[in-house]
Structure 1
Amino acid sequence: MSNEISLVTGGNGHLGNNLIRLLLSNNIKVRTTIRKIDQKIPLEGLSCEVVQADLTNRDALKKAFKGVTNLYAVAANFSMWSKNAKVEVYDNNLVGTQNVFDIAQECGVKNIVYISSVASLDYTKLPAHVDNGYNKDRRNWYYNSKNDSDKLALELGKRYGIRTVLILPSAMIGSKAFKLSYSNDLVNKILNGEIPVDTNVSLNWIDVKDVAQGTFNAMLQGKNGRRYILANEKHTTLQESVKIASERYPELNLKNPKKIPKWLLYSVAGLMEFSSKLTGKEPLMQRHYIDMFYGLKQDFDITYAIQDLGFKTKPSKKALIEALEYLKNDWDNK
């Protein structure tokens, strides 16, 4: 095993944990950061060093980054809703990105693979491509944070002379998971028959292990300053996703989501938003989500990832079937 240390921030998260397992299987020395030291269950049995470090704590990051050559910046606040989204999501992600690059420069880190998101892409021209620019829709603080932290990562990488490669995954699903990510939770809702209406939203499912492999390849051979979309080229609708689950598990008697007009979805979303102000819980639908995603086909141009990274991904349907199987039969934290 090489003495060079690869650091993965957020090693107890869905992608971070799968990435650590991949790195270890390639005989790479790994250190990882987690926000709370008592959240180590996903790392049990893994031969990696674990350090407690929040991205907002610069002193903790200095300790974690010492001696690190390659840094996988995975950790971020992935929250599509929050009581105070400007502070808790947007500011947190921007400050975290600034700190990661500042401390990486101080500690002599040579390479950073930064995990962005397809949320930062411009969807006005499909299939979405990194050369089209950034998402112009500024109605959601999470999407804003991915837009602006993506730009900031590239700017800081260039300023500090750190080779910086950006990865933009779509909806990551599958094993191993130790809590339900946003995307895995949606798959679980499909299994549980909790999709009563068709919101006319499309998904772009991708196996988290394919993203982990693409991320590793990006460290090995990604071009400095380039953004790579890790996704399937074609979307899958919510209707199609439920149908796949229904055909796979007929005993669940899953019902096709009912199609209802957009104006009615909009009205229901408004009521849910009002209720969330009283309960403090995330609404199942929000009006600006409907505005952003209604009828949107999440298709992507992944040419750069194929050419530069040798990116390969299992088809969306296969990724979904495997995720359904995992969540139905093997997921331990139900």
Structure 2
Amino acid sequence: MPKSILVTGGTGFIGSRLVHKLATGDDEVRVLVRPTSSLVPLNGLEGRIVPVLGDVTDYTSLQQAMQGVDEVYHSAGFTYMGGDPSRDKKLRAINIEGTRNVLKAAREAGVRRVLHVSSITAVGMSGKKVPADETFSWNFHNVPLRYAEIKHLAEEVVMQAVRDGLDCVIVNPAFVFGAGDVNFNAGRLIKDVYQGRVPGYPLGGICVVDVEIVVETTIAAMQKGRTGERYIIGGDNVTYRKLSQTIARVTGVKPFMVPFPFALARLTLSLFSLMGYRHRFSKLFNLSMFRVASEFLYFDSSKARRELGMRSEPHTESIRRAFEWYRKEGML
């Protein structure tokens, strides 16, 4: 029997790909959109989805959007990895208070289940030797990445809702590449390596996954994930050196092989700023990002493979797919 589904954050990278996948079925798919949202990521879905004006920070709009809804995919969020404290208010308003609003409205409307799209930063930093799993204790306390703390606190809001009786499941996507990344999230690294805007690589490592795997597994989590459980959705664990080499090879540019310890990155960034060269380099080359990238965020996704049937593929394929999509769309 067809269901009514609401997706928040449906114009974002993961959210839009999720909407495209859900729209292939027989369910009614409502997409919460702000008046200022670009609907470009949803091109081609006219007549197959129902755009609903609203905002996760506007509780009344959520109450209206959820009338008659069976399932909610909450993928709305504000992603900011820099160190500007002026962004804190927006981070909290969207990621924490917005999540609280979604859960409260869902409970009030009698929604059957809520799927919360979180982040691996809400799990923690693994260290190089043993990838972290869902039982890992969050440990970003000494790393100044406000986004990680906010996502961690948002998960606590979800878990409180579960204790209060709401059926919720959490997914934690890793570093997500793939076609459709119009805002250059992880894809900015592809663009900037291709354009020679990355002066060196940090000494840490990251878990990489394709957006289509994230979407498939997220839907599987809604269908058969266990209430109150979190599921890491990841793939290859690679150093930034290896990831940079992969991007260089796929895009056909000369690989850069300059290692940047955090102390050197801090000095270099200061010099670039003083000399007026800062604009020549990637936006990813900031102290907050480099501090985190000097650590290892390696993850074990065996729980998602075992319980949700998550598939895997080499990260090279995801990089290639994203790069070819960017070229086809004229975004490089």
Tell me whether the two structures share a fold, i.e. TM-score over 0.5. Answer: yes
Query: Which residue matches 1:330?
Result: 328
Alpha-carbon distance in 2 for matches of 1:142, 1:244: 27
Task: Say if 2:124 and 2:297, in contact at 8 Å, map to a contact too.
Answer: no
For structure 2, the residue ranges without an aligned partner over 5 or more in a row are none
For structure 1, the residue ranges without an aligned partner over 5 or more in a row are none
The CA RMSD over aligned residues, in Å, is 2.6
Using the aligned pairs only, state the percent identity: 23
* Residues 291/25 of structure 1: CA separation in 2 closer, same or farther (3 Å cut): same
Deviation at 1:124, TM superposition (A): 4.5
Alpha-carbon distance in 2 for matches of 1:244, 1:95: 39
In the alignment, structure 1 residue 320 sits paired with structure 2 residue 323: no
Of the three residues 111, 114, 117, the one matched with 1:112 is 114
Counterpart amino acid of 1:330? K
Alpha-carbon distance in 2 for matches of 1:274, 1:97: 41
- Within 5 Å, give how 1:290-309 maps onto structure 2: 290-294=290-294, 296-309=295-308
In the alignment, structure 1 residue 174 sits paired with structure 2 residue 178: yes
Query: Which residue matches 1:143?
Result: 148
Tell which deviates more after alignment, 76-85 or 267-276.
267-276
Alpha-carbon distance in 2 for matches of 1:132, 1:38: 36
Question: Which secondary structure does the structure 2 equivalent of 1:300 belong to?
Answer: coil
* Residues 111/318 of structure 1: CA separation in 2 closer, same or farther (3 Å cut): same
Task: Say if 1:270 and 1:287, in contact at 8 Å, map to a contact too.
Answer: no
Query: Which residue matches 1:268?
Result: 268
Alpha-carbon distance in 1 for matches of 2:212, 2:159: 25
Query: Which residue matches 1:84?
Result: 86
Deviation at 1:220, TM superposition (A): 0.6
Task: Say if 2:126 and 2:297, in contact at 8 Å, map to a contact too.
Answer: no
Counterpart amino acid of 2:205? S
* Residues 271/61 of structure 1: CA separation in 2 closer, same or farther (3 Å cut): farther
Question: Which secondary structure does the structure 1 equivalent of 2:79 belong to?
Answer: coil
* Residues 284/243 of structure 1: CA separation in 2 closer, same or farther (3 Å cut): closer
Counterpart amino acid of 1:8? V
Tell which deviates more after alignment, 37-46 or 304-313.
37-46
In the alignment, structure 1 residue 73 sits paired with structure 2 residue 74: yes
Query: Which residue matches 1:58?
Result: 59
* Residues 287/8 of structure 1: CA separation in 2 closer, same or farther (3 Å cut): same
Of the three residues 90, 93, 97, the one matched with 2:99 is 97
- Structure-2-length-normalised TM-score: 0.89
Alpha-carbon distance in 2 for matches of 1:286, 1:333: 23
Query: Which residue matches 2:50?
Result: 49
Task: Say if 2:213 and 2:312, in contact at 8 Å, map to a contact too.
Answer: yes
Alpha-carbon distance in 1 for matches of 2:2, 2:291: 50
* Residues 221/94 of structure 1: CA separation in 2 closer, same or farther (3 Å cut): same
Question: Which secondary structure does the structure 1 equivalent of 2:32 belong to?
Answer: strand
* Residues 203/94 of structure 1: CA separation in 2 closer, same or farther (3 Å cut): same
Task: Say if 1:55 and 1:96, in contact at 8 Å, map to a contact too.
Answer: yes
Question: Per-residue displacement from partner, 1:249-292 (whole Å, max 9, x unpaired)?
Answer: 44xx424142244422122345678999x99xx96434444443
Alpha-carbon distance in 2 for matches of 1:84, 1:96: 18
Query: Which residue matches 1:227?
Result: 230
Task: Say if 1:235 and 1:297, in contact at 8 Å, map to a contact too.
Answer: no
* Residues 243/273 of structure 1: CA separation in 2 closer, same or farther (3 Å cut): same
Query: Which residue matches 1:39?
Result: 38
* Residues 193/273 of structure 1: CA separation in 2 closer, same or farther (3 Å cut): closer
Alpha-carbon distance in 2 for matches of 1:86, 1:77: 10
Alpha-carbon distance in 1 for matches of 2:271, 2:23: 48
Alpha-carbon distance in 2 for matches of 1:273, 1:152: 39
Tell which deviates more after alignment, 215-224 or 201-210.
201-210
* Residues 264/140 of structure 1: CA separation in 2 closer, same or farther (3 Å cut): same
Counterpart amino acid of 1:30? V
Task: Say if 1:89 and 1:145, in contact at 8 Å, map to a contact too.
Answer: yes
Deviation at 1:213, TM superposition (A): 0.2
Deviation at 1:184, TM superposition (A): 1.2
Query: Which residue matches 2:254?
Result: 254
Task: Say if 2:4 and 2:30, in contact at 8 Å, map to a contact too.
Answer: yes
Counterpart amino acid of 1:171? F
* Residues 333/60 of structure 1: CA separation in 2 closer, same or farther (3 Å cut): farther
Question: Which secondary structure does the structure 1 equivalent of 2:30 belong to?
Answer: strand
Task: Say if 1:272 and 1:285, in contact at 8 Å, map to a contact too.
Answer: no
Query: Which residue matches 1:237?
Result: 239
Query: Which residue matches 1:211?
Result: 214
